[in-house]
Structure 1
Amino acid sequence: MAGMAVGVTMLMTAHSGPATAAPARTGNVQKAMEELARTPGVVGAVGGAYADGRPIGLGSAGSRLLDGRGGKIPANARFRIGSQTKEMVATVVLQLVAEGKLGVDDKLAGLLPAVVENDLVARADEVTVRQMLRHTSGIPDWYADKPNPDGTEGEISFDPFDFTTHYQPLDLVKWSRARPRTGEPGEKFSYSNTNYTLLGLIIERLTGHDLATEMHTRLFGPLGMTKTYLAVKPPEGIEGPHGHGYYPDADGRLRDVDRLNSSIGGAAGGVISTAHDVSAFKRAFTQGKLLPPELQRVLTDRLPNPPRPLGEHRSQCGDDIYVTGGTAPGFLAMTFYSEDGRRQLSISATLSVKDLTEPGEAMGRAMQAVFCPAS
């Protein structure tokens, strides 16, 4: 699902090839998770650190349910990864480009005639695949109702406590139609979940397969991501023991949003995974094993006005560390990774607050504790 601009170091971060130096010393992941779980608003936390594909630390802290109930969350538990889904969807799109099934400069109108026939996207004959991948299409976001004065997201446009209504992707696109465009096609960066809802539909139309199947065939299966899947049908919850997130209703009462509404997320943020599996994808992507270099640069080349995401931190021990992440009501997930793709730290926190500032900053401190342990 998505607020998923939050915590996201965009897909436009530059990467280098694998380095030859051995991975640096790693701090205690369990202690880092215990510290994270002490952050106000964090119910439970899980994390896993990996070097060259090998686990070098796992941890979990807090509790499965609010107020210390439900016991401990297994360190290898599944969690919602939010907008980290987008990089996976983008990879599938660009694999289709590599196969000649579409081009990065193909227009939305030609790829999805339904958006023109039903007047769902303004200027669809000008918007390109490249622009949707890089959030420069100008298509407004279906997720946020209206921005706050400081430019951050406003209230979400759907009922977070409706766990059962099955929305079709084009229903979500329709929500964005009445909102003003955020710029000329290709003009500037403006984060929009609608871009990826549309890209998911393009994948399905070109392949003849549903998005979940295509992602499993191209990514989850080949990369050994055995505990990863795309949730699409409400009220689908997370398989296996896991942490529950909470979100305040209109009266301020905290309500369990563990199930969420899987039909809301989809290509914009519906993947459920583990620290191991997310790290496996991130390692393969960063090291250029999933796309030809020229297509990977569509995602990794920097934009002229990139956003500064919540939770963006630089390593204090001299390494270039990047972060990608996502959130929705009840959770925040981040994956920190080295520029050479050899090290990853994937963290998930279930929450009981709307404001993500403290949890995001706490995740940054967890990264420092793991990647830059005090000597």
Structure 2
Amino acid sequence: MSRARAAGLTGLASAMLALSLHTSATAAVEVKTGDVQQAMKDLAKTDGVVGAIGELYVDGRRQGQGSAGTRLLGGKGGHIPAASRYRVGSQTKLMTATVVLQLVKEGKLRLEDTLAAVLPQVAQQDLVERAGEITVQQLLRHSSGIPDFFASGKFDDAFDFTTYYSPIDLVKASREVPRTGEPGAGFAYSNTNYVLLGLIVEKVTGRSLSAELERRLFVPLGMKHTYLTTRPPQGIKGPHGHGYHPDAKGRPRDVDRQNASFGGAAGGVVSTSGDLSAFYRALGQGRLLPADLQRAVGQPRPDLCGGTVAAAAGSGPGFLAVTYTSADGRTQFAVSTTLKIDNRQAMPINDAMNKAAASVLCP
């Protein structure tokens, strides 16, 4: 789930599907890269960062890794293992979208299907306004006009660690917020779109979204350390960095536990740099979706390293994670930072992450 656009890139998480990348005939050409460990050291010096980890992969092989800062606040806990798990935030949306589009490819769903047709409950119970006009494609592109459930003010995603909210609870809350626009009129980022897409996956397949992600992505791609959190108190398995969020008095409070209710299809995946690299490589090489379906969710322009690298980001209380992928699909650089500031005010950290990525990917 992406509570803010602090990264300035979060909206690209779903749109990255549009990159129709393929391994080129130049695959044997050496890729020149910079020092990952030095990049993480520089990144960890940024105000607001507790710890930073990153791994670089070229053609599926790890070419560098780094860890700087500490696992806990105040220089405690030692370094974060570079290959440890972390929350990927809204990069989850890209995985959910991939599953949805695979169902389209299989003829089990159509992009032009309306929300009311595929999820009759939301229309019958008036959970989504104008559900009969909103299409699957609009949900994917954040052009449905459905407001974000966080805008209801009913949820404390930073400090409510234990209350379980079902996906329908989140959708109901969004119904109390004014629409952001006409169906199909334009982009308006909303986590509710992907909550609904997760429900659509479950309705069409008869299986949980977690099971479909495992079956279609995690197992085939060898993403052995990746899983979807869906209910509290699910968290990050194994040694990892802890993030912090300011309380009402401005004091950083450990938010490592977090509430899995707010993630799910919109942002609930926990992964590693290596596993994320495998996903983006497969997507970039056209092994998960045909090009026409990749384009179905919009087309961002790679804007790093002279337009040869694109980024997908996820942010939430206590963390900011970005994966950078080269336009030829060969290179991935996955970075995670744990924070001690409000992630909605983390633009300087996003800038520092881009600078670190540039030092590694376009030295």
In structure 2, what residue type is equivalent to 1:3?
Answer: R
1:117 paired with 2:124, answer yes
- How far 1:294 moved relative to its partner? 1.8
1:256 paired with 2:285, answer no
Matches within 5 A, 1:31-42: 31-42=38-49
**Which of these residues, 346, 354, 358, is aligned with residue 356 of structure 1?**
346
Task: Show the counterpart of 1:301.
Answer: 299
Task: Show the counterpart of 2:67.
Answer: 60
- How far 1:129 moved relative to its partner? 0.3
In structure 1, what residue type is equivalent to 2:346?
Answer: L
Post-superposition Cα deviations, 1:76-123, rounded to whole Å, max 9, x if no partner, equal 000000000001000000111111111110000111111112211100
In structure 2, what residue type is equivalent to 1:162?
Answer: D
In structure 1, what residue type is equivalent to 2:95?
Answer: M
1:338 paired with 2:303, answer no
Q: Provide the secondary structure at the position in 1 that maps to 2:101.
A: helix
Q: Distance in 2 between matches of 1:313 and 1:288?
A: 21
Task: Show the counterpart of 1:209.
Answer: 207
Post-superposition Cα deviations, 1:24-58, rounded to whole Å, max 9, x if no partner, equal 21111111111111111000011001111110001
Q: Distance in 1 between matches of 2:268 and 2:14?
A: 17
Q: Distance in 2 between matches of 1:345 and 1:77?
A: 15
Any conservation in 2 of the 1:319–1:338 contact (CA below 8 Å)?
no
- How far 1:15 moved relative to its partner? 3.4
- Percent identity, aligned pairs only? 55
Rate the CA distance shift 1:4–1:281 in 2: closer, same or farther, 3 A. farther
Q: Distance in 1 between matches of 2:243 and 2:341?
A: 9
User: Structure 2: 5+ residue runs without aligned partners?
Assistant: none
Task: Show the counterpart of 2:229.
Answer: 231
Any conservation in 1 of the 2:157–2:259 contact (CA below 8 Å)?
no
Q: Provide the secondary structure at the position in 2 that maps to 1:143.
A: helix
Task: Show the counterpart of 2:315.
Answer: 327
Q: Distance in 2 between matches of 1:15 and 1:221?
A: 23
TM-score w.r.t. structure 1 length? 0.91
**Which of these residues, 128, 134, 144, is aligned with residue 137 of structure 1?**
144
Q: Distance in 2 between matches of 1:229 and 1:25?
A: 32
Task: Show the counterpart of 1:93.
Answer: 100
Q: Runs of 4 or more off by more than 4 Å in structure 1?
A: none
- How far 1:71 moved relative to its partner? 1.1
With 171-180 and 6-15 compared, the bigger mean Cα shift is at 6-15
Any conservation in 2 of the 1:283–1:344 contact (CA below 8 Å)?
yes
Any conservation in 2 of the 1:108–1:129 contact (CA below 8 Å)?
yes
Post-superposition Cα deviations, 1:190-218, rounded to whole Å, max 9, x if no partner, equal 11100000000011111111111110010
Rate the CA distance shift 1:266–1:11 in 2: closer, same or farther, 3 A. closer
Post-superposition Cα deviations, 1:229-264, rounded to whole Å, max 9, x if no partner, equal 001120111000000000011121211000100111
Q: Distance in 1 between matches of 2:208 and 2:19?
A: 31
Higher helix share: 2
In structure 1, what residue type is equivalent to 2:280?
Answer: K
Any conservation in 2 of the 1:33–1:47 contact (CA below 8 Å)?
yes
Any conservation in 1 of the 2:145–2:188 contact (CA below 8 Å)?
yes
Task: Show the counterpart of 1:45.
Answer: 52
Q: Distance in 2 between matches of 1:49 and 1:178?
A: 44
Q: Provide the secondary structure at the position in 1 that maps to 2:225.
A: coil
Q: Distance in 1 between matches of 2:69 and 2:257?
A: 20
Q: Provide the secondary structure at the position in 2 that maps to 1:348.
A: strand
Q: Distance in 1 between matches of 2:129 and 2:156?
A: 22
**Which of these residues, 197, 207, 210, is aligned with residue 195 of structure 2?**
197
CA RMSD of superposed structures (Å): 1.7
Q: Distance in 1 between matches of 2:151 and 2:326?
A: 31
Q: Distance in 2 between matches of 1:366 and 1:18?
A: 25
Q: Provide the secondary structure at the position in 2 that maps to 1:282.
A: helix
Paired residues, number: 354
Q: Provide the secondary structure at the position in 1 that maps to 2:102.
A: helix
In structure 2, what residue type is equivalent to 1:320?
Answer: T
TM-score w.r.t. structure 2 length? 0.94
In structure 2, what residue type is equivalent to 1:343?
Answer: T
1:365 paired with 2:355, answer yes
Post-superposition Cα deviations, 1:147-193, rounded to whole Å, max 9, x if no partner, equal xxxxxxxx894242111111100111112111111111111011110
- How far 1:293 moved relative to its partner? 2.2
Matches within 5 A, 1:4-83: 5=5, 6=7, 7-8=9-10, 9-12=12-15, 13-21=18-26, 22-83=29-90
Post-superposition Cα deviations, 1:281-311, rounded to whole Å, max 9, x if no partner, equal 0111111110122212213535xxx9xxxxx
